[in-house]
Amino acid sequence: MNNCMLCGQTLFGRRDKKFCNDFCRNTYNNHLNKENVEVIRITNNKLKKNHKILKNLVELSKLSVTRTELELLGFDFNLVTSFDLSDGVVYRKVYDYVIQQNADNSMIIKQIT
């Protein structure tokens, strides 16, 4: 026997039933969507911030940076749109920008055209 995922009431009928009525189903799903929207919004904002930091640096022709400099500007290294490792060189992309981290840990920012 299952219980309603929202109110916990015992459910009768179909074995795959998850909610006792439409109200419980809709309330549950709306709540889930709100939480997902919030998580996506926060992640998107962090990615946007990373993108803006790289864009500003390229516009200032400051293409050579250190990890510390980027971190001080608020760059979040956990949030990139792709990550590649090739011959000891790390490539972190944030949309149309790439940070190339060389074997000596020096970093170069490039805009992908």
Q: Give the binding site for Zn ion (CB under 5 A).
A: 4, 6-7, 9, 20, 24
Return the number of the residue (7 or 108) whose C-beta is nearest Zn ion. Answer: 7
Q: For residues 9 and 30, which CB has a smaller minimum distance to Zn ion in the complex?
A: 9
Instruction: Name the residue nearer to Zn ion (CB basis): 22 or 59.
Output: 22
Residue 14 Cβ vs Zn ion, minimum distance, rounded to whole Å: 15
Tell me the closest approach of the beta carbon of residue 18 to Zn ion, in angstroms: 9
Give 76-82's long-range contacts (Cβ < 8 A, gap of 24+): 76/46, 76/49, 76/50, 79/43, 79/46, 79/47, 79/50, 80/47, 80/50, 81/47
CB of 25 to Zn ion, least distance (A): 8
| CB-based contact 91:100 (threshold 8 Å) | yes
Q: What is the DSSP letter of 4?
A: -
